[in-house]
Structure 1
Amino acid sequence: MSLATEAARAERPSLPAAAAMPSSEPAYQVIRRNGSVSPFDSSKIAVALTKAFLAVEGNSAAASRRVHDIVTELTDQIVASLTRRSDAGRTFHIEDIQDQAELALMRSAHHKVARAYVLYREERARERAKAQESNAKKSNAAAATPALRMKSVDGSMAPLDTRRLAAVVEEACAGLEGVSAEAILTETHRNLYDGISADELALAPILAARTLVETDPDYAKASARLLLDKLRREALSLIAGRPEQATQAEMTGRYAEYFLGYVQTGIENELLDPEIGRFDLDRLAAALKPERDLQFDYLGFQTLYDRYFLHVRGTRFELPQAFFMRVACGLALREIDREDKAIAFYNLLSSFDFMASTPTLFNAGTQRAQLSSCFLTTVADDLDGIFKAIKDNALLSKYAGGLGNDWTRVRGLGAHIKGTNGESQGVVPFLKVANDTAIAVNQGGKRKGAVCAYLETWHIDIEEFLDLRKNTGDDRRRTHDMNTANWVPDLFMQRVEEDGVWTLFSPNETPDLHDLTGKAFAERYAHYEGKAARGEMRVTKQVRAVDLWRRMLTMLFETGHPWITFKDPCNLRSPQQHCGVVHSSNLCTEITLNTSNTEVAVCNLGSVNLVNHLHDGKLDHAHLARTVKTAMRMLDNVLNVNFYTIPEARTSNLRHRPVGLGLMGFQDALNILRLPYACDEAVSFADESMEAISYWAISGSVDLAAERGRYPSYQGSLWSKGILPLDSLALVDEARGAPIDLDRSSRLDWEALRQRVMTVGMRNSNCMAIAPTATISNICGVSQSIEPAYQNLYVKSNMSGDFTVVNAHLVRDLKARGLWDEVMISDLKYFDGGLSRIDRVPDDLKALYATAFEIDSAWLIDAAARRQKWIDQAQSLNLYIADPSGKKLDALYRHAWKRGLKTTYYLRSRSATHVEKSTLKVTDGKLNAVSASVSTAPLNGHAASVAESDGWKACRIDDPTCEACQ
Structure 2
Amino acid sequence: MTTVTSGVTTTLEVRKRDGRIISFDAVRVHYAIGKAFRAEIGLPEDQELENSLEAQVKSISEAVIDQIESRPFSRDGVDVETIQDAVEIQLMRHGHFSVARRYILYREEHAKLRALRAADSDGNLIAPRINIKQEDGTKEPFDSTRLRRRIYSAVRGLEQNCSAEELVEETYRSLYDGITPQEIYRAMILASRSRIERDPDYDKVAARLMLMVIYNEALGRLHPKEDIADVTRREFSNYIETGIAADRLAPRLREYDLERISAALRPERDAAFPYLGLQTIYDRYLLHIEGRRIETPQYFWMRVAMGLAWNEENKEERAIEFYNILSTFRFTSATPTLFNSGTLHPQLSSCYLSTVDDDLEHIFKVVSDNAMLSKWAGGLGNDWTNIRATNSHIKGTNGQSQGVIPFLKVVNDTAIAVNQGGKRKGAVCSYLESWHLDVEEFLDLRKNTGDDRRRTHDMHTANWIPDLFMKRVRDGGDWTLFSPDETSDLHDLCGSAFQARYEEYERLADEGKMRLFRRLPANELWRKMLTRLFETGHPWITWKDPSNVRSPQDHVGVVHSSNLCTEILLNTSKDEIAVCNLGSINMVAHVKNGELDLDKLRETVTTASRMLDNVIDINYYPTPEAKNSNQRHRPVGMGLMGFQDALSAIGVSYASQEAVEFADRSMEAISYFAILASSQLAAERGSYPTYEGSKWDRGILPIDSLELLEQERGLPIEVDRSTTLDWQVVRDSIREHGMRNSNVMAIAPTATISTIVGVSQSIEPTYKNLFVKSNLSGEFPQLNLRMVQDLKAEGLWDSDMVEAIKYYDGELTEIDRVPEELRLRYLTAFEVEPKWLIECAARRQKWIDMGQSLNLYMAQPSGRKLHDMYMLAWTTGLKTTYYLRTLSATQVEKSTIDVNRFGIQPRWMKNSSASSDIRVDRGEAAVEPGADPNAILDQLPPEQPKTCNLDGDCESCQ
- TM-score normalised by L of structure 2: 0.83
CA distance in 2 between counterparts of 1:259 and 1:465 reads: 53
Residue equivalent to 1:180: 163
The answer for the alignment partner of 1:964 in structure 2 is 956
Determine the C-alpha separation between the residues in 1 that align with 2:950 and 2:912: 13
Alignment-mate amino acid for residue 652 of structure 2: L
Is 1:892 matched up with 2:869?
A: yes
Q: CA deviation at 1:202?
A: 2.4
Looking at structure 1, the residues matched to 779 and 606 of structure 2 have their Cα atoms a distance apart, in angstroms, of: 36
Q: Residue 118 and residue 703 in structure 1: after superposition, are their counterparts in 2 closer, same or farther (change >3 A)?
A: same
Q: Provide the residue aligned with 1:24 in structure 2.
A: none
Question: How far apart are the structure 1 equivalents of 2:97 and 2:883?
Answer: 41
Following superposition, the deviation at residue 407 of structure 1 comes to 0.2
Match of 2:413 in 1: 436
- Residue range with higher mean Cα deviation, 121-130 or 587-596: 121-130
Q: What are the within-5 Å matches in structure 2 for residues 591-670 of structure 1?
A: 591-670=568-647
Which residue identity lines up with residue 175 of structure 2 in the other structure?
Answer: L
Choose the corresponding residue for 2:828, options 851, 874, 893: 851
2:895 is the alignment partner of 1:919? yes
Q: Does 1:544 align with 2:521?
A: yes
Pick which of 479-488 and 245-254 moved more. Answer: 245-254
**Counterpart residue number, 1:158:** 140
Q: Where does residue 779 of structure 1 map in the other structure? A: 756
Matches within 5 A, 1:468-507: 468-507=445-484
Tell me the equivalent position of 2:935.
Answer: none
1:920 is displaced (CA, Å) by 5.2
| Residue in structure 2 matching 1:147, options 103, 125, 128 | 128
Could you tell me whether the CA contact under 8 Å between 2:381 and 2:564 is conserved in 1? yes
For residues 587 and 741 of structure 2, the distance between their equivalents in structure 1, rounded to whole angstroms, comes to 23
Structure-2 change in CA distance of 1:115 and 1:720 (3 Å): farther
Q: 1:170 is aligned with what amino acid?
A: Y
2:197 is equivalent to residue 214 of structure 1: yes
Question: Per-residue deviation at 1:187?
Answer: 2.2
CA distance in 2: counterparts of 1:828 and 1:292, whole angstroms: 32
Aligned residue runs from structure 1 range 556-955, under 5 A? 556-911=533-888, 913=889, 915-919=891-895, 952=944
**How far did residue 196 of structure 1 move?**
3.1
Shift of 1:843: 1.7
1:225–1:958 Cα change, 3 Å: farther
Deviation at 1:423, TM superposition (A): 1.2
CA deviations 1:233-259 (Å, max 9, x no partner) are: 11223xxxxxx3356962121111111
State whether structure 2 residue 100 is matched by structure 1 residue 120: yes
Distance 2:360 2:224 in 1: 61
Determine helix, strand or coil for the equivalent of 2:697: helix
CA spacing shift, 1:133–1:499, aligned 2, 3 Å = closer
How many Å separate the matches in 2 of 1:834 and 1:412?
Answer: 48
Instruction: State which of 125, 150, 165 in structure 2 corresponds to 1:168.
Output: 150
CA separation of 1:781 and 1:936: change in aligned 2, threshold 3 A: farther
Unaligned runs of 5+ in 2: 1-16, 19-91, 898-907, 916-941
CA deviations 1:120-176 (Å, max 9, x no partner) are: 244557889999999x9x996899665254333344443433333333323323444
Pair 589,113 (structure 1): closer, same or farther in 2 beyond 3 Å: farther
> How many angstroms apart in 2 are the aligned matches of 1:307 and 1:468?
31
Which string of whole-angstrom CA distances, capped at 9 and with x for unpartnered residues, describes residues 670-725 of structure 1? 11111000000001000111111110000110110000000000000000011100
**Counterpart Cα distance in 1 of 2:269 and 2:102:** 43
Amino acid at match of 1:959: D
Q: Deviations for 1:312-338, whole angstroms, at most 9, x for unmatched residues?
A: 111111111111111001000100010
Q: 1:937 to 1:340 in 2, by over 3 A?
A: farther
- Residue of structure 1 equivalent to 2:939: none
1:560-603 deviation line (CA, Å, top 9, x unaligned): 00000000000000000000000000000000000001000000
Partner of 1:196: 179
Q: Distance in 1 between matches of 2:260 and 2:344?
A: 23
Query: Which residue among 358, 363, 380 is the counterpart of 1:381?
Result: 358
Q: 3-state SS of the aligned residue for 2:392?
A: strand
Note if contact 1:797-1:958 (Cα within 8 Å) is conserved in structure 2.
Answer: no
- The residue number in structure 2 matching 1:49 is none
Q: 1:482 to 1:306 in 2, by over 3 A?
A: same
Q: What's the Cα RMSD here?
A: 2.8
What secondary structure is seen at the aligned counterpart in 2 of 1:196? coil
**Mean CA deviation greater in 268-277 or 141-150:** 141-150
Question: In structure 1, how many angstroms separate the alpha carbons of the residues matched to 2:853 and 2:134?
Answer: 50
Note the C-alpha offset of 1:307: 0.3
Gap runs ≥5 in structure 1: 1-32, 35-111, 238-243, 922-931, 939-949
Q: Distance in 2 between matches of 1:540 and 1:270?
A: 57
Query: What's the offset of the Cα at 1:113?
Result: 14
1:850-904 deviation per Cα after TM superposition (whole angstroms, max 9, x unaligned): 1001110110000000000000000000000000000000000000000000000
Q: Residues 936 and 953 of structure 1 are in contact (CA less than 8 Å); yes or no, is this contact kept in structure 2?
A: no
**Structure 1 residues 414, 116: CA separation in 2 closer, same or farther (over 3 Å shift)?**
farther
- Is this contact kept in 2: 1:796–1:958, CA < 8 A? no
Pairing of 1:47-446 with structure 2 (within 5 A): 116-123=96-103, 146-148=127-129, 149-176=131-158, 178-237=161-220, 244-246=221-223, 250-446=227-423
Contact 1:328–1:343 (8 Å) recurs in 2: yes
Residues 718-758 of structure 1, C-alpha deviation per residue, up to 9 Å, x if partnerless? 00011100001001010111220110001111122112112
User: 1:352 is paired with a residue of what secondary structure?
Assistant: coil
Q: Give, in whole Å, the separation in 2 of the partners of 1:634 and 1:794.
A: 35
In structure 1, C-alpha distance between the alignment counterparts of 2:367 and 2:94, rounded to whole Å = 51
Task: Quote the offset at 1:952 in angstroms.
Answer: 4.7
Provide Cα deviations, 1:811-858, integer angstroms capped at 9, x if missing partner: 112222222222222222222111122232222211111100111011
Q: How has the CA–CA distance of structure 1 residues 246 and 552 changed in structure 2, closer, same or farther, with 3 Å as cutoff? A: farther
Task: Measure, in 1, the Cα distance between the counterparts of 2:303 and 2:223.
Answer: 22
Separation in 1, partners of 2:543, 2:106: 63
Distance between the aligned counterparts of 2:109 and 2:494, measured in 1? 75
C-alpha distance in structure 2 between counterparts of 1:373 and 1:424, whole Å: 34
Corresponding residue of 1:3: none
Q: Distance in 1 between matches of 2:913 and 2:420?
A: 28
Summarize the Cα distance change of 1:153–1:597 in structure 2 as closer, same or farther, 3 Å threshold: closer
The answer to whether the Cα contact below 8 Å between 2:773 and 2:779 also exists between their aligned partners in 1 is yes
* One-letter amino acid matched to 1:214: E
In structure 2, what is the Cα distance between the partners aligned to 1:702 and 1:884? 45
Q: Is the 8 A contact 2:578 2:626 kept in 1?
A: yes
How far residue 188 of structure 1 moved from its aligned partner, in angstroms, is 2.1
Residue type at the aligned position of 2:281:
L
- Residue equivalent to 2:70: none
Cα deviation, residue 412, structure 1: 0.4
Q: Give the whole-Å Cα distance in 2 for the aligned partners of 1:277 and 1:117.
A: 66
Contact 1:726–1:870 (CA under 8 A) maintained in structure 2: yes
Helix, strand or coil at the partner of 1:719: coil
Partner of 1:92: none
Select 1:509's aligned residue among 479, 483, 486: 486
Secondary structure at 2:227 match in 1: helix
Give, in whole Å, the separation in 2 of the partners of 1:341 and 1:523: 52
